[in-house]
Structure 1
């Protein structure tokens, strides 16, 4: 009988560890060997001895951290190409979260475990879509693991934004959005919704947009917002880190309509407390229905939840006849518009904004 994954995939103080393969997955601090699911700061830290990731994630880590700082030894692994690490067969499959995001699939002595990383299930023109993998244990996030979280179609949210731009042509619409993934997806959604004019960017967002375009994701005309005159920004769309939209930086804008793109904007009290005039419910995480559907599709008899709303998703798994377990891994941030990851030129308030 194949060994149960709990005998070889273990939670250690340093993070989730594949014991026979000798590697950690998204460890919260430097380790000798790490596999990284995606380039957000709570999953990708610098200073590993050896690091493996998708080519896009490796490139984005270079932009965020500085070239080569992710690990002393670096290996890129394209989607679907298996390798063997000390007897463990490992491959990456798209997770649909941001460009380069990957699930980590592992097989050892006939048993298979899949670590999802962060993921979403809706189409996104800026990254490859999630591909379910049948497995014995599925290790999943649960950021929006409550039935109240059901995300509306993202293209409809972009259309709402453009309706507001038409309604208030003399005002600047400034949208708080996370620098990696959300910013580029929002630009692509606005293009799909019919906005073909320039989109202005806070300086913190420019390097990652340039990286996306180098990797073949077209974003259209982008302009730096910092050097634009206030008159030029009347009627314009400006994207900025969430920390900047309530900062003195935003005073350069023409009577701004303050917006925030986040799955948490489903919670009206949160939007009101943060002074958000136009909340946009756009998330890069699976909502409740998508999480539950994924459990059915991967058909794993056992579900492990890394972080988020563990209890509700574990209950849903058990209702499907599956065993659930909360790993409660430390170091992962829920989507939270109270702060942002530090990237060049951006003010960090502590915490993370992803969506």
Structure 2
């Protein structure tokens, strides 16, 4: 048998303006521009864009892209449950624990394995598959919360905080800002786990993605549209979810004296909560915080770490102090707010 070509990690995968490119497979991972061949880690808009030729992704991510962009979001869809051979490499998909359908992608040419984590989380998330380690020689990681100050509380404690506030203020409704894909469904599922069995009201922008989660077996309980046709008093003591954009529109003004909440890892930064006019910050993140970020690197023990976006310099420095080779990739086009 012919021997496999020996490539350096940089030859196997390297940054281009469109994103991370693999010459041996002639594809990009999470490209920020339309390309002929793309592997997609998950359905958030800064990672999954329309206009590609062929797209490889988990079946759920492909469905989510069709929901968000239309059925013709690409020319050819190829669902990947586990692994796929593409030209001279094998791509293995491993759950990332970020949102429904999210995957890490490990590119292996037989000599070097590089895992591109996309966005990932290692805490309980009843709305998606749990994170699993993807062994590799090079680990490509985000660093959204890549500073030691980010040590997030447990999701359950934050949901209990919300429920205590609801119980203490029965004459007010609680408006919870949550991103349409992943965060909203996770908040709802956590509320159900915590025993909230009453209807949860949602903005219309959340409906289709919530319906899809239910179709995929995620128990969200009874959901109702958050309209004021039944009278404003009907929302006293209720929990209402909407996308962050709706809080700057007239929609949020329809509800009398609401408690404004926002579910995000960034709510640990008090200044951000104040800027948004948040009365009840809920520190709920779908990204690893600093302890889980560094724990993941320790668990994988890769030869190298590449940092894609976020607090790159702090994580690179931590790696160096722990005798791990590391470098920032300085990729552009990925939003820190998609949390």
Look up the match of 1:74: 77
Contact 1:301-1:321 at 8 Å conserved across structures: no
SS in 2 for 1:269: helix
Quote the offset at 1:247 in angstroms.
Answer: 2.6
- RMSD over aligned CA atoms reads 1.1
Look up the match of 1:13: 17
- TM-score relative to the length of structure 1: 0.92
Alpha-carbon displacement from aligned partner over 1:147-185 (angstroms, at most 9, x marks no partner): 000110011100000000000101010000000000000
Aligned residues: 334
Quote the offset at 1:30 in angstroms.
Answer: 0.6
User: Matched residues in 1 for 2:161 and 2:33: separation?
Assistant: 40
- TM-score relative to the length of structure 2: 0.96
Look up the match of 2:303: 301
User: Matched residues in 2 for 1:94 and 1:146: separation?
Assistant: 24
Matching of residue 192 in structure 1 with residue 193 in structure 2: yes
Look up the match of 2:27: 23
Contact 2:124-2:155 at 8 Å conserved across structures: no
User: Matched residues in 2 for 1:48 and 1:251: separation?
Assistant: 39
Matching of residue 108 in structure 1 with residue 109 in structure 2: yes
- Which residues of 2 match residues 57-68 of structure 1 at below 5 A? 57-68=61-72
- Which residues of 2 match residues 1-355 of structure 1 at below 5 A? 2-69=6-73, 71-78=74-81, 81-226=82-227, 227-335=229-337, 354-355=338-339
Query: Which ranges in structure 1 are unaligned for 5 or more consecutive residues?
Result: 336-353
Quote the offset at 1:272 in angstroms.
Answer: 1.3
SS in 2 for 1:11: strand
User: Matched residues in 2 for 1:272 and 1:185: separation?
Assistant: 24
SS in 1 for 2:319: helix
Contact 1:234-1:253 at 8 Å conserved across structures: no
SS in 2 for 1:64: helix
SS in 1 for 2:278: coil
User: Matched residues in 2 for 1:188 and 1:155: separation?
Assistant: 11
Alpha-carbon displacement from aligned partner over 1:73-111 (angstroms, at most 9, x marks no partner): 110001xx2221111011100000000000001111311
Alpha-carbon displacement from aligned partner over 1:52-90 (angstroms, at most 9, x marks no partner): 100110111111111231x10110001xx2221111011
Quote the offset at 1:255 in angstroms.
Answer: 1.2
Alpha-carbon displacement from aligned partner over 1:175-224 (angstroms, at most 9, x marks no partner): 00000000000001111111100000000011100011111111000000
Alpha-carbon displacement from aligned partner over 1:208-257 (angstroms, at most 9, x marks no partner): 00011111111000000024421111111000011222432112113100
User: Matched residues in 2 for 1:167 and 1:138: separation?
Assistant: 46
Contact 1:134-1:297 at 8 Å conserved across structures: no
User: Matched residues in 1 for 2:219 and 2:230: separation?
Assistant: 23
SS in 1 for 2:28: strand
User: Matched residues in 2 for 1:185 and 1:228: separation?
Assistant: 27
Contact 2:13-2:21 at 8 Å conserved across structures: yes
> Which 4+ runs in 1 deviate beyond 6 A?
none
SS in 2 for 1:307: strand
